[in-house]
Amino acid sequence: MRGRNRILGFLMVLSVVCLAGCAGSSQEDSQEQEDKKRAEIVLKAGEVNPEDNINTQVLHYFADQVKELSNGRIIVEIYAGGQLGDERTELQAVQMGALDIFRGNTLTMGDFGADKMGIFGLPYLFEGRDHLWNVLKSDLGRDILDSLWEAETDMVGLAYVDEGARNFFAKKPIEKPDDLKGTKIRVAETSILLDTVSCFGASPTPISMSELYTSLQTGVVDGADQPLSGYISNSFGEIAPHVILDNHTYTPGVIIMSGYRFNKLSAGDQDIIRQAAEAAEDYNREVVATDEAEQIKALRAQGIEVIEVEDFGPWQSVVQPVYDQYAVGFEDMVEQIRAMNEM
């Protein structure tokens, strides 16, 4: 029965990818169509965020690098805005070999067998962007990226993507942890984030990104959590104009590739993919570092209330149960990560 369900699941995600691929091809310009005709290998890449989001921009940079390094032999087609489904659907598609590449969040990877990578989802683990990149560029960070394949997930980790820390936003002001009690907060469907939001006394509500705007409008949820980049690119400020920079999780994204598809590439083409991913990672780090201060300034100019947290102590104490559950067996790794804030 389990095998049959796996086959049915594979066929479902495969049909989604194929249908989206057909729809996307009709929107390509003549140059893109010509590039595809000349290419020897065409890879499909999924992203749940819209085109103007930093995650999608990084994927496009990666695709450009692949095309350049391969002299046009390899083309990466990008399907943004959740065209291929929500995050879990696209991850399953990559895992099953129905989708070649996806930019996911390490928050979710723990639910797909990548336990080491899931540790990044622990709340308030990182003190800021410099701390995050100290870890990601360290031997430990590379080991965690490689662990995706070593954990037999059928996925290969290519690069990290920094989209910024996740913050709560809502239709009503949130100034302290108690303000979240009794609210319905949309979260990504991932265990560690569901439990984190529950610690605040809120009701975590999994909803796909493509449905979140409407869900806020209709009162299905009162708020959500997103990095500022996602909050802005999805225009959530139009209906939920209160943001608190609580930085409860600073989880990097990750560009992953189907292990099945990666292993079908020649060693030389695998090297091209890895080089392009490394270049995209460096591009991402440079761009995001200059964006956040401007984002906050722009939001306030639009009348959005942006509250900065001065004392994180009350916020951190609320989520200790998450550590009690998810950090078990990874205590040394957590300490290593915390120590890298001082580098």
For 83-118, the pLDDT digits (tens) are: 999 899 999 999 999 999 999 999 888 888 888 998
Examine the pLDDT at 237 and tell me if it is beyond 90: yes
HSE (side-chain half, CA atoms, 13 Å) at 125? 29
Mean pLDDT to the nearest integer, 308-317: 95
Per-residue confidence band for 22, with pLDDT thresholds at 50, 70 and 90:
low
Structure tokens that stand for 24 in this block? 């996307």
Please give the sequence-ordered ranges of beta strands (E in DSSP) within the chain, or none if there are none. Answer: 41-46, 74-79, 101-105, 155-161, 166-170, 184-187, 203-206, 223-226, 242-249, 253-258, 305-308
Per-residue confidence band for 77, with pLDDT thresholds at 50, 70 and 90:
very high
Q: State how far the Cα of 274 lies from the Cα of 159, in Å rounded to an integer.
A: 8
- Rounded to whole angstroms, the maximal C-alpha distance in the chain is 58
In this predicted structure, what is the pLDDT of residue 286?
A: 86
Neighbours of 343 (CB within 10 A): 11
Examine the pLDDT at 342 and tell me if it is beyond 90: no
Sequence-ordered list of residues with C-beta below 8 angstroms from that of 100, at least 6 positions apart, any chain: 43, 44, 45, 94, 257, 258, 261
Mean pLDDT to the nearest integer, 242-251: 95
In this predicted structure, what is the pLDDT of residue 183?
A: 98
Sequence-ordered list of residues with C-beta below 8 angstroms from that of 114, at least 6 positions apart, any chain: 106, 147, 148, 151, 153, 155
Q: State how far the Cα of 225 lies from the Cα of 220, in Å rounded to an integer.
A: 15
pTM for the model stands at 0.86
For strands 203-206 and 184-187, give the pairing. Answer: parallel
Residue that wins the pLDDT comparison between 247 and 150: 247
39-162+251-292 fold: D-Maltodextrin-Binding Protein; domain 2 (3.40.190)
- Rounded to 5 degrees, φ, ψ at 12 are -65, -50
- Which superfamily is assigned to 165-249+293-340 in CATH? Bacterial extracellular solute-binding protein, family 7 (3.40.190.170)
Q: State how far the Cα of 204 lies from the Cα of 183, in Å rounded to an integer.
A: 9
The mean-pLDDT minimum among 14-28, 140-154, 187-201, 236-250 falls in 14-28
Map out the domains of the chain as residue ranges: 39-162+251-292, 165-249+293-340
- Rounded to 5 degrees, φ, ψ at 274 are -70, -40
Mean pLDDT to the nearest integer, 293-314: 94
Same fold, 39-162+251-292 and 165-249+293-340: yes
Q: Is 284 exposed, middle or buried (0-12, 13-18, 19+ CB in 10 A)?
A: buried
Sequence-ordered list of residues with C-beta below 8 angstroms from that of 271, at least 6 positions apart, any chain: none
Per-residue confidence band for 29, with pLDDT thresholds at 50, 70 and 90:
low
In this predicted structure, what is the pLDDT of residue 1?
A: 41
Residue that wins the pLDDT comparison between 269 and 285: 269
Per-residue confidence band for 223, with pLDDT thresholds at 50, 70 and 90:
very high
Per-residue confidence band for 145, with pLDDT thresholds at 50, 70 and 90:
very high
Examine the pLDDT at 24 and tell me if it is beyond 60: no
Mean pLDDT to the nearest integer, 20-35: 59
Residue that wins the pLDDT comparison between 207 and 18: 207
In this predicted structure, what is the pLDDT of residue 288?
A: 78
Examine the pLDDT at 8 and tell me if it is beyond 70: no
The residue written with tokens 């108690």 in the block is 178
Residue that wins the pLDDT comparison between 26 and 185: 185
Neighbours of 38 (CB within 10 A): 10
In this predicted structure, what is the pLDDT of residue 150?
A: 85
